[in-house]
């Protein structure tokens, strides 16, 4: 029995003792008073539970917003890479056949751009700026 249950038991004992001392004419008031205390106890427990659930939901939402989505799996990334390479062949041929070297460069710039956007989407910190440490040629992470 925890402290809250012990307090409620004391309240019930006090209510029963008051009923014995005051008589039957105060019974309904005593019962209503005790039930009001029980209602307050229940309301407090429900409120604590709702706050805890809300906090857990907020934490879950925050974690899922920061972490990669479940659909960003290795299979999706691998499939995207394969599709990019397969499409690169006809795009290269069309670009080179139509505009020669400039067309080939534009086609490959588009392919690289699309893959860079996909990489940035699945790895948000991938293209983060790096700072040079003072007095050193090494890059900081």
Average pLDDT over residues 38-43: 89
With the C-alpha atoms ordered 95, 96, 100, 103, is the resulting torsion angle positive or negative?
positive
**Count of domains forming the chain:** 2
Q: Do residue 16 and residue 60 come from a single domain?
A: yes
Does 95 reside within a domain? yes
- Cα separation, 5 vs 26, in Å, equals 25
Q: End of a domain among 18, 44, 66?
A: 66
**Which tokens hold the place of 54?**
């809300």
pTM: 0.43
Q: Do residue 103 and residue 84 come from a single domain?
A: yes
Average pLDDT over residues 133-137: 52
Are the C-beta atoms of 15 and 30 separated by less than 8 Å? Answer: yes
Residue 131: predicted pLDDT: 55
Residue 51: predicted pLDDT: 93
pLDDT(106) > 90 = yes
Q: Do residue 16 and residue 55 come from a single domain?
A: yes
Q: Do residue 34 and residue 21 come from a single domain?
A: yes
More confident residue, 109 or 133: 109
Domain encompassing residue 115: 69-126
Q: Do residue 29 and residue 45 come from a single domain?
A: yes
Does 120 reside within a domain? yes
Of 40, 35, 3, 33, nearest in space to 18 by CA: 33
């Amino acid at each position: 029995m925890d402290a809250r249950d012990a307090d409620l038991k004391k309240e019930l004992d006090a209510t029963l003792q008051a009923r014995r001392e005051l008589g039957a004419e105060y019974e309904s008031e005593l019962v209503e008073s005790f039930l009001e205390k029980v209602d307050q106890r229940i309301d407090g427990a429900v409120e604590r539970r709702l706050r805890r659930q809300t906090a857990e939901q907020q934490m879950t939402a925050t974690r899922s917003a920061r972490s990669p989505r479940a659909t960003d799996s290795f299979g999706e990334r691998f499939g995207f890479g394969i599709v990019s390479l397969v499409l690169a062949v006809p795009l290269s041929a069309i670009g080179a056949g139509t505009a020669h070297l400039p067309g080939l460069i534009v086609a490959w710039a588009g392919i690289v751009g699309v893959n860079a956007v996909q990489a940035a989407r699945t790895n948000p910190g991938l293209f983060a700026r790096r700072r040079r440490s003072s007095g050193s040629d090494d890059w900081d992470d």
